[in-house]
């Protein structure tokens, strides 16, 4: 905090404490906005990575299910012959 020295009405010196306002400075506002934007970008990146992983797992399960169905159909035909 900045301190100034003023004289009171008796001529004595006394320190006067200047209070800062509770508002954000423009630099702080820009920092908050920048951190918010970086946080949003990271969140979207993480969520898209998770969604991509789940999508990949679903594709693998579908492919395995199709292959298992084909093997089951071919094995059933073979037994009938």
Task: Give residue 41's pLDDT.
Answer: 96
12-22 confidence digits (pLDDT tens): 665 555 566 67
Contact 1, 18 (CB under 8 A): yes
Q: Dihedral (C-alpha) 63, 65, 66, 68: value to the nearest 10 degrees?
A: 120
Task: Give residue 69's pLDDT.
Answer: 94
The pair of structure tokens assigned to 39 is 């946080």
DSSP-assigned states of every residue in 12-81: -EEEEEPPPPSSPPHHHHHHHHHHHHHHHHHHHHHHHHHHHHHHHHHHHHHHHHHHHHHHHHHHHHHHH-
Of 13-22, 29-38, 40-49, give the lowest mean pLDDT range.
13-22
């Amino acid at each position: 905090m900045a301190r100034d020295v003023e004289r009171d009405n008796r001529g004595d010196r006394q320190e006067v404490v200047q209070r800062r306002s509770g508002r954000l400075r423009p630099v702080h506002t820009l920092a908050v906005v920048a951190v918010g934007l970086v946080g949003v970008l990271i969140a979207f990146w993480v969520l898209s990575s998770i969604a991509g992983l789940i999508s990949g797992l679903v594709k693998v399960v579908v492919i395995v299910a199709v292959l298992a169905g084909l093997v089951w159909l071919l094995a059933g035909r073979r037994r009938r012959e």
